[in-house]
Amino acid sequence: MAAKIPTDALKELRVNEASKANGKAAKPVPAADDDEGHAEDSDDDADENGAANGTDGATGAAKKKKKRKPKKKKKNPTAQTEPPSVMVSQLFPNKSYPKGEEVEYKDENNYRTTNEEKRHLDNLNSEFLTDYREAAEIHRQVRQYAKKTIRPGQTLTDIAETIENGVRSLTGHSGLTEGDAMVAGMGFPCGLSLNHCAAHYTPNAGNKMVLQQDDVMKVDFGVHVNGRIVDSAFTVAFEPKYDNLLKAVQEATNAGIREAGIDARVGEIGGVIQETMESFEVEIDGTSYPVKSIRNLTGHNILPYSIHGTKAVPIVKSNDQTKMEEGDVFAIETFGSTGNGYVRDDMEVSHYAKNADIQHVDLRLSSAKALLSVINKNFGTLPFCRRYLDRLGQDKYLLGLNSLVNSGVVEAYPPLCDKKGSYTAQFEHTILIRPTVKEVISRGEDY
Ligand SMILES: [Co+2]
């Protein structure tokens, strides 16, 4: 889920305005060789994930021996179904979830990988790591199915519900009983943003929108286990004319991940992301466009039950000197655009979240009070969308919801769109800045 920089703050950060000027071609950067090397990392990781997936029947056999009753016991499933429905805790006994991609720190931080004290700190975090790895494995399995099955002709509503139901099934929490969605489930709504819209679009009730052959769709969804949110996104397109746009953004995101680490300054990371992104030029329907980083969207740190922490990771060069620190969790996400490289609020709001740092507010409207109680019990500060209120049986809540937004208790996250007719793409991973290594927790064979 993207974080947006307020316009005033953008000026203060003195972000690089070069790319803004009338579609001037961006400076080419000889990044190709470097990126080849990087791809190797993800391959290694993919093997690791693949191996961990190959659960054998050993546990099932052991159980049979112990219970010598004539009644046939249903064997534990050893593979995921299509659509996904099996809890990952059944597929990985004893919570042996696969690790993400572990990357050693560079230069003066390299000692950390083998350092005793840092390894001890890592061990103290085992529960945090287990929750994070479970959430990441759920993200991989659900998106794998989504990528395989998303086709033009499907409604956005069907696509969103398939992904969200998959996530809920794999966590084992339907979220239908009070408080259940807080234990594990959606970390934030499944965004399905088309073409010039970059982020925060998901259908509201009654939406009949159908995915088209010519569309470029950003699929951005979150999975949480005990409030540990994995935030990861990819872009789907069916026409090869968009391949280079997607490639630019995927490489930009990987460049950001590569630069991330302890003591890394976020403004400099933004500079590397921008250089990578803007080294691409794409041709779509006979017109060529420079790919621009969307300068008022950023990555962000993630806190328990809170998708947008206090640190931003810009995707253009900026003078933001904020450092990444041991223990931080970051969503590294980049957005490329053939348009202005700047987004505005547009269209009907679907995403909301309770404001984490708001104190008590006196609400006069009884419908607002009642709705706030539903939000507190079911989502806390986790983002939700209108469909999530519908499935809890809430109706006629818009007046109350708008009142909560106007009083500042709840924040609305409207869709963020570049200029009409442009195309935008997004890739995103969640990374853990562990004491010993950087773990790209949501890395998979796909991206
Ligand atoms: Co995000």
Residue 148 C-alpha to ligand 1 middle, in angstroms? 23
**What pLDDT does residue 302 have?**
98
Residues 170 and 139: their CA atoms lie apart, in Å, by 9
192 contacts: CB under 8 Å, gap ≥ 6: 156, 159, 160, 201, 202, 203, 217, 218, 219
308 is in an annotated binding site: yes
pLDDT digits (tens, 9 = 90+) for 93-147: 999 999 999 999 999 999 999 999 999 999 999 999 999 999 999 999 999 999 9
**Section 190-202 average pLDDT:** 98
Of 320, 428, 429, 439, the active-site residue reads 428
- The structure tokens 């970051």 sit at 330
What one-character-per-residue DSSP string does 337-361 give? ESS-S--EE-S---EEEE-TT----
The question of whether 333 is a catalytic residue gets the answer yes
Q: For the chain, what percent of residues have pLDDT higher than 90?
A: 82
Name the packing angle between helices 243-259 and 266-277 (round to 10°). Answer: 160
Q: 58 falls in which pLDDT band (50, 70, 90)? A: very low
**In this structure, are strands 329-337 and 424-433 parallel, antiparallel, or unpaired?**
antiparallel
Residue 217 C-alpha to ligand 1 middle, in angstroms? 16
Token pair of 331 as six digits: 């969503």
Of 101, 215, 220, 259, the active-site residue reads 220
pLDDT digits (tens, 9 = 90+) for 324-357: 999 999 999 999 999 999 999 999 999 999 999 8
Residues 209 and 194: their CA atoms lie apart, in Å, by 10
Residues 238 and 216: their CA atoms lie apart, in Å, by 8
Residue 341 C-alpha to ligand 1 middle, in angstroms? 18
**Is residue 419's pLDDT more than 70?**
yes
The question of whether 360 is a catalytic residue gets the answer no
What one-character-per-residue DSSP string does 34-52 give? HHHHHHHHHHHHHHHHHHH
Helix locations, 29-155, DSSP H: 32-53, 58-66, 88-91, 116-124, 126-149
pLDDT digits (tens, 9 = 90+) for 223-262: 999 999 999 999 999 999 999 999 999 999 999 999 999 9
**What pLDDT does residue 9 have?**
84
**Section 8-20 average pLDDT:** 66
95 contacts: CB under 8 Å, gap ≥ 6: 89, 130, 134
Q: 6 falls in which pLDDT band (50, 70, 90)? A: confident
Residue 38 C-alpha to ligand 1 middle, in angstroms? 22
- The structure tokens 């203060």 sit at 12
Angle at alpha carbon of residue 213, lines to 209 and 215, rounded to 5°: 65
The question of whether 196 is a catalytic residue gets the answer no
Token pair of 443 as six digits: 């890395």
Residues 99 and 209: their CA atoms lie apart, in Å, by 37
Of 45, 278, 333, 439, the active-site residue reads 333
The question of whether 17 is a catalytic residue gets the answer no
**What pLDDT does residue 10 have?**
83
Residue 67 C-alpha to ligand 1 middle, in angstroms? 47
319, exposed or middle or buried, with CB in 10 Å at 0-12, 13-18, 19+?
middle
